[in-house]
Amino acid sequence: MTTMDNRQVSEIITSLQNPRIKHLRVLQQKSAARRKEGLFVVEGYKELMQCLDAGLQVDALFYTPALMSSAAQELLLRVSSSRCFEVTPEVYDRMAYRGGTEGVIAQVEIPVRTLSGLTLGQHPLIVVVEQVEKPGNLGAILRSADAAGADAVVVCDELTDLYNPNLVRNSIGALFSVPCVSCSSDECIAFLKSKGIRILTAQLQDSNLYYDTDMRVGIALVMGTESTGLSDKWRRAADAHIRIPMLGKLDSLNVSVSTAILLFEAVRQRTCAAETGNS
């Protein structure tokens, strides 16, 4: 049989019991398998193109011609034909974690990213999150970091792995566009101190209003969980404690919302400084 790009397909996968399909579904469901094999699952044309543009390697691509847009067919030209496998629409429907993914899903090699490998600007803008456990929150934080042009997101003492399908989905590709590193809090603190990057911890106690804090220099915005906040080690390591004023009856915001507010305050200050020549 010949597909739309004239490659020969000797077999079309028609069963969920096919070993390749079973393997992909294990990667979707089990973080231990992702860590052991160094593979994770990405769905959708846009996200997969961002993977490739970021230099990530596709281990296996599964596709259904009947569901693919003409744009999605470009993926078949960028992935080795020996790593592409056609599946029936029925099998794809059971494989896909979400709808509207244009008939393409792949297992991708997890990139090796370290603190020492980060490329930082003159005045770095870094987001640090400690023990944030909800994949949706981490995905939203990555999207805000991308929009604000942050240099990196560092996940400390992680409670959810960076390649959880919910995180990949909620980041809408920001996981690939923003350098993202996982490490311990101790490692991150030592790295920031060695680079002269000011540590700003978001906390209610003993803190100043965020817009009264200079964010034009190299900074790391450190965010904790909504339930317990930051650990004492981060509070002690901080160069400044900052808070968002709370005018209602509640005393906390969703961590992804708080992160976005602080990121764009940094963007505002830096933009104003650049316009007035005070950068």
Q: Over 70: is that where the pLDDT of 5 sits?
A: no
Give pLDDT, residue 151: 97
Give pLDDT, residue 48: 92
Q: Over 60: is that where the pLDDT of 30 sits?
A: yes
Give pLDDT, residue 2: 41
Q: Is residue 63 part of a domain?
A: yes
Residues 104 and 121 in one domain: no
Confidence of residue 17 (pLDDT cuts 50, 70, 90): very high
Q: Is residue 13 part of a domain?
A: no
Mean pLDDT of all residues in 53-59: 94
Q: Which is more confident, 88 or 251?
A: 88
Boundary of a domain, candidates 109, 134, 164: 109
Mean pLDDT of all residues in 155-170: 90
Q: Domain containing 92: what range?
A: 19-109
DSSP string spanning 34-54? HHHHTEEEEESHHHHHHHHHT
Phi, psi of 68 (to 5 degrees): -90, 135
* Helix pair 255-276, 135-147: axis angle to 10 deg: 10
Give pLDDT, residue 3: 47
- The dihedral built from the CA positions of residue 74, 77, 80 and 81, taken in this order, carries a sign that is positive
Whether the CB-CB separation of 20 and 85 falls below 8 Å is answered with yes
Boundary of a domain, candidates 79, 109, 139: 109
Give pLDDT, residue 9: 53
Give pLDDT, residue 81: 86
Residues 105 and 124 in one domain: no
Residues 158 and 270 in one domain: yes
Confidence of residue 6 (pLDDT cuts 50, 70, 90): low
What single-letter amino acid sits at 93? D
Q: Please, what is the average pLDDT of the chain?
A: 91
The predicted model scores a pTM of 0.90
Q: pLDDT tens, 88-125?
A: 999 999 888 776 678 999 999 999 999 999 999 999 99
Residues 89 and 131 in one domain: no
CA distances from 107 to 26, 40, 61, 170 (A): 11, 5, 7, 17
Q: Is residue 76 part of a domain?
A: yes
Residues 154 and 182 in one domain: yes
Whether the CB-CB separation of 204 and 235 falls below 8 Å is answered with no
CA angle at residue 239 from 235 to 240, to 5 degrees?
Answer: 75
The span from the CA of 175 to the CA of 158, in Å, is 15
Give pLDDT, residue 251: 74
Mean pLDDT of all residues in 17-24: 96
SS3 15: coil
Hey, how many other C-beta atoms are within 10 angstroms of the C-beta on 23? Answer: 16
Residues 158 and 31 in one domain: no
Question: In this structure, what CATH number is given to the domain that contains residue 252?
Answer: 3.40.1280.10
Q: Over 60: is that where the pLDDT of 10 sits?
A: no
Mean pLDDT of all residues in 200-214: 94
Q: Is residue 139 part of a domain?
A: yes
Whether the CB-CB separation of 43 and 105 falls below 8 Å is answered with yes
